[in-house]
Amino acid sequence: AFEDTSFASLTGLVGDHILRAIKEMGFDHMTEIQHKTIRPLLEGRDILAAAKTGSGKTLAFLIPSIELINKLKLRPLRPPSGTGVVILSPTRELAMQTYGVMKELMAHDVHTFGLIMGGSNRSAEAQRLANGVNILVATPGRLLDHLQVRRWNCRRNLQCLIIDEADRILEVGFEEELKQIIKLLPSTSHCSAAF
C-alpha cells in the first residue's frame, strides 16, 4: 500500500504557515523518522525514537511542537501565557542548531521561542523567560539552574517535554539533572518524546 510521505499530506493536521515554512526550507517529502513520528506526536502520544544524525529528526519533533503551541492558543506577547514545550539538548552546539531550525520553521508564526544554555548571560535569559517564551530549547544544566536557583515557573502551561539525543544526555552525565528536571516539571504534561 502506498503511503503519502509528502509534507502536503499533513494539510489539515498542521497549520498552513508551518507547511509554507517547510516548503521555503526546501523540503517536499518526509524522511522515515518524520513519517513515523509526526502524526503520533500530533495526536499527543509519547514517543521514543532512534534516528541517525542527518535523518531529519529535528523537524520530526519541531513540527508537532509548533502545532501544539498553536492549538493551545498560547499568547505570544504580554501578558505572556507561558511555555508550552521544552526541548532538552545535550550540548550547546546541538541546542543552537535546533534553535536555528526552529527559527526557520517559525518564520510565519507569531509565537515566541528561546534558547537557554551554559555560557550565556543568566540574567538576560531570566528576563526572556519572564517576558514569555512559548517554545524553549535548553541544555539540562542551564534549565535546572533556572528551575531551581532562579525559580522560573513553567508549570502553568507546559504540555510537552522533548529530550533530543536522550542517549547522549545520559552519556554526558546529565542523568541526575534529568531526574531533577522531570521532578520539577508538571506531571500533567500532554506528551513526552525522546529522540
pLDDT at 73: 76
Establish if 1 belongs to a structural domain: no
CA angle centred on 134, ends 143 and 19, rounded to 5°: 120
CA–chain centroid gap for 91, Å, is 15
Establish if 142 belongs to a structural domain: yes
Whether the upstream peptide bond of residue 79 has omega within 30° of 0, thus cis, is yes
48-73 residue pLDDT tens? 888 887 899 999 999 999 999 888 87
Structural domain that includes position 49: 7-194
**pTM for this one?**
0.91
How many structural domains are present in the chain?
1
Element at 125 (helix H, strand E)? helix 122-131
Establish if 169 belongs to a structural domain: yes
Establish if 90 belongs to a structural domain: yes
CB-based contact 117:139 (threshold 8 Å):
yes
Question: In Å, what is the CA distance from 174 to each residue of 1, 19, 35, 116, 170?
Answer: 43, 35, 30, 16, 5
Q: Give φ, ψ of 6 to 5 degrees.
A: -75, 150
Sign, Cα dihedral of 56, 70, 86, 95:
positive
Across 14-22, average pLDDT: 97
Establish if 127 belongs to a structural domain: yes
Distance (Å, whole) CA 170 – CA 176: 9
97-149 residue pLDDT tens? 999 999 999 999 989 999 999 999 999 999 888 888 999 999 999 999 999 88
The CATH number linked to 69 is 3.40.50.300
Distance (Å, whole) CA 151 – CA 136: 16
Establish if 2 belongs to a structural domain: no
pLDDT bracket for residue 79 (50, 70, 90)? low
Establish if 133 belongs to a structural domain: yes
Across 32-36, average pLDDT: 95
